[in-house]
Structure 1
Amino acid sequence: MLELHCHTTYSDGTLTPAELVKKAAQTGVKVLAITDHDTVSGWDEAIATAINYEIEIVPGIELSTVHNDRSLHILGFYPNPDLIRPALQERLAGRKRRAAQMVASLAALGYHIEMPELGAEMAPGRPHIAAALVRAGIVKSSQEAFDRWLGDDKPAYVHYEKFSIQEGVSLLRECGAVPVWAHPCLFRGGVISEVLKELVEAGLMGVEVYHPNQNSREQKMLLELCAEYGLLVTGGSDYHGPNLESREEDRSLNHLHLPIELLTPVKTAAATLYQDLRMKGFQDF
């Protein structure tokens, strides 16, 4: 079984990379992608742990871009770490600035919170702020925090810093990563077919067709678009771990039961990108 979209405590997941690998093994996952938001710091721990569980780790990332003033996420699979890590420093710094602005906005509204200490390579996000609101006793749940202040266009919401889809796709490809549009049916900034055309023109190579928030009708539509443009098809549960408030799963790991064969074309595409990098003097990892 295949999981190509999962998060750890290095971004907004609730399991460490090692814990995620162990959980994946328990649920029958054989291939697991680590796709934290704007950071690749969870790879090493996941790879080291996976040796003991005979799980193949797919190094990945979920890159945050902005299109039509809305957040649009692009997954990248198999980026060269020596190239992607320096390039992500500004993205990570932007996430920290955004989090600080949201904390300041909450303070201006009369709600003062303390953010938890995060490692230098961890990417802060709205779930961290929501959790801080819960700890402070201001709200009873993270969902309440999003509903009242942190959701899109709510009083304390702050947009991502400008980083276009063209810049995002270009960055991933220049680092050897296969760029894939994450959960397109969740995007609220335009018609999917029109936005996909722009992404393809920018160099997009695939679409996340299988996702918990995309029903069978939407999957069929996305598969048809992939066939039209010759795009790769991927999928994943977008797993963030157990909800620490209720101890329930945010999304069930491996419940999509995706076949490992979906990964083969992605690996082939990555090999092609890496051949281009080798011609430019870079080595595989």
Structure 2
Amino acid sequence: MLELHCHTTFSDGTLTPTELVDAAVNAGVKALAITDHDTVSGWDEALNAAPAALEIVPGLELSTVYNERSLHILGFYPDRERLILPLAERLEGRKRRAQTIVKKLADLGYPLELSEMGEGMAAGRPHIASLMVKAGYVESAREAFDRFLADDKPAFVQYEKFGTADGIELLRSCGAVSVWAHPYLFRGGVVETMLPELVEAGLMGIEVYHPSHTLYQVDKLKNLCAKYNLLMTGGSDYHGPSRETKRDEYCGLNRLQVPLELLEPIKMAAVRSSEALHSKSQATIPSGVLS
């Protein structure tokens, strides 16, 4: 009944925040995190659309780079005001990346016109894949990734340099709970070898439950959480129905049946992070200012 990894049309999802809320309610979800890529723009619509029976967890999925590979960090309950400027910079970087991908495709003989998206939004590879389908260059988004857009394919462009440790520090500076998203999808290192370094950087949790993780991997991640005293999270990484087939081709909402009791420790950690952040801010104020 817990969904801590979902996307909307504010990043690469196919449902608006309102549509996602409706779908979550229909699927029996009790707590839903909005975790769009590098933006928090979908929060307000989701909060306004959610009925009392559905708790909205504010979050985001931060794009970072580790060993020249994309590594995503989920952040829950961040201070939005502290994120505005850093996310604006990340958004501009995503826009530049999308333009570079489109230029590469044009050089390969597949010109596309990248339309301007709404405020707080930037085109990602799924949007570009969809444009390629509409242009008739490929038959499906999967083909677009397999031939052109996936890592090491001819039109792939890495995120602008933003290290994982920097991303974790950014989330910590905003009072957020930082969680390594789908670790066994990462192809730039060994999870067990990397984890101590990320914990040292301030990582607070691991996304244990994810559609890509096998039962064996889930057990390994649970053991790692116990070893390093990390929080456990989980979610379907829901992006909505496929733009081409209109079906949920990856994993439907609530299909993993992530236990709701995982949320309370995350909330408690967020409260502690917020209090620590507030205390640090107060400590930097010169003596006498508060008197």
TM-score under structure 1 length normalisation: 0.97
Question: Aligned to 2:63, what secondary structure does the other structure show?
Answer: strand
Q: Which residue of 1 aligns with 2:40?
A: 40
Find the aligned partners of 1:242 and 1:201 in 2 and give their Cα distance: 38
C-alpha distance in 2 between matches for 1:94 and 1:60: 20
1:264 maps to 264
User: Partners of 1:184 and 1:147 in 2: how far apart?
Assistant: 21
Return the offset for 1:53: 5.2
The structure with more radius of gyration: 2
- Contact 1:25 1:53 (8 Å CA) reproduced: no
Q: How far has the Cα of 1:117 moved from its partner?
A: 3.0
TM-score between both structures, scaled by the size of structure 2: 0.95
**Structure 1 residue 116: Cα displacement:** 3.3
- Contact 1:115–1:128 (CA under 8 A) maintained in structure 2: no
Within the alignment, does 1:165 sit opposite 2:164 as a pair? yes
Q: Secondary structure at 1:168's aligned position in 2?
A: helix
Q: Structure 1 CA distance, aligned partners of 2:122 and 2:169? A: 21
Q: Does residue 128 of structure 2 align to residue 129 of structure 1?
A: yes
Output the CA distance in 1 between the equivalents of 2:208 and 2:122: 26
Find the aligned partners of 2:277 and 2:230 in 1 and give their Cα distance: 21
Give 3-state SS (helix, strand or coil) of 1:74's partner.
strand
2:288 aligns with none
- Runs ≥4 residues deviating over 2 A: none
Q: CA deviation at 1:123?
A: 2.9
Equivalences for 1:64-79 in 2 at 5 Å?
A: 64-79=63-78
How big is the alpha-carbon RMSD for the aligned residues of Structure 1 and Structure 2?
A: 1.1
What pairs up with 1:24-39 in 2 under 5 angstroms?
Answer: 24-39=24-39
Q: Distance in 2 between matches of 1:19 and 1:114?
A: 27
Tell me the CA shift for residue 278 of structure 1: 2.2
For residues 125 and 218 of structure 1, the distance between their equivalents in structure 2, rounded to whole angstroms, comes to: 28
Q: Percent identity?
A: 61
Distance (whole Å) between structure 2 residues aligned to residue 170 and residue 133 of structure 1: 37
- Post-superposition CA distance 1:42-98 (Å, at most 9, x none): 000000001x35210000000000000100000000001111122211111111010
Q: In structure 1, what is the equivalent of residue 102 of structure 2?
A: 103
Deviations 1:92-116 (A, max 9, x none): 1111010000000000111111123
1:274 maps to a residue whose letter is: S
Q: Equivalent residue for 2:49?
A: 49
Deviations 1:163-222 (A, max 9, x none): 111100000010011000000000000010111111101000000000000010000111
Give the distance between the partners of 2:41 and 2:108, measured in 1 at CA: 34
